[in-house]
């Protein structure tokens, strides 16, 4: 989860509250006796949208880390290297259990240099009994 995901979750909660305080599904008129709550919730939604825009602008200038597999498929993007490493290690274990994969790594978006390698291990060769 990142900042935008959290803000979207708050936005959903506020819209739910607005629906509860509204007379109809269009949410354009408050229920009787809920005028103040309805107005306050609409204000909160407006403020939250402004905050979301500010956060998105700030994020665009920051470094993001991508977790990619050996086929260069992006498995996830993260704000901090520690989050990316944790996710890469988790994916490595998952891949080793379910697929014939040997490597998952973290790289800075837009650069090809590997800054951390979550190395897998070779699959054991087993002999079949006759």
Tell me the pLDDT tens digit for each residue of 43-71: 999 999 888 877 776 665 565 677 777 76
* Centroid of chain to Cα 55: 14
Cβ neighbors of 18 (< 8 A, separation 6 or more) are 27, 38, 41, 42, 45
More confident residue, 15 or 74: 15
Kindly tell me if the per-residue pLDDT of 76 is higher than 70: yes
- Enumerate helices (H) and strands (E) in the chain, giving the number of each: 3, 4
Tell me the pLDDT tens digit for each residue of 101-127: 555 666 655 444 556 666 554 444 334
């Amino acid at each position: 989860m990142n900042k935008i995901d959290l803000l979207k979750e708050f936005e959903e909660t506020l819209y739910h509250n607005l629906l509860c305080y509204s007379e109809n599904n269009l949410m354009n008129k408050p229920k009787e006796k809920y005028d103040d709550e309805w107005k306050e919730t609409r204000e909160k939604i407006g403020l939250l949208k402004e905050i979301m825009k500010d956060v998105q602008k700030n994020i665009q200038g920051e470094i993001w880390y991508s977790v990619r597999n050996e086929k260069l498929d992006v498995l996830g993007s993260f704000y901090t290297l520690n989050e990316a490493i944790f996710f890469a290690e988790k994916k490595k274990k998952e891949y080793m259990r379910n697929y014939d994969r040997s490597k998952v790594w973290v790289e800075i978006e837009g650069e090809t240099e590997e800054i951390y390698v979550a190395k897998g291990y070779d699959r054991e060769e087993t002999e079949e009994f006759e």
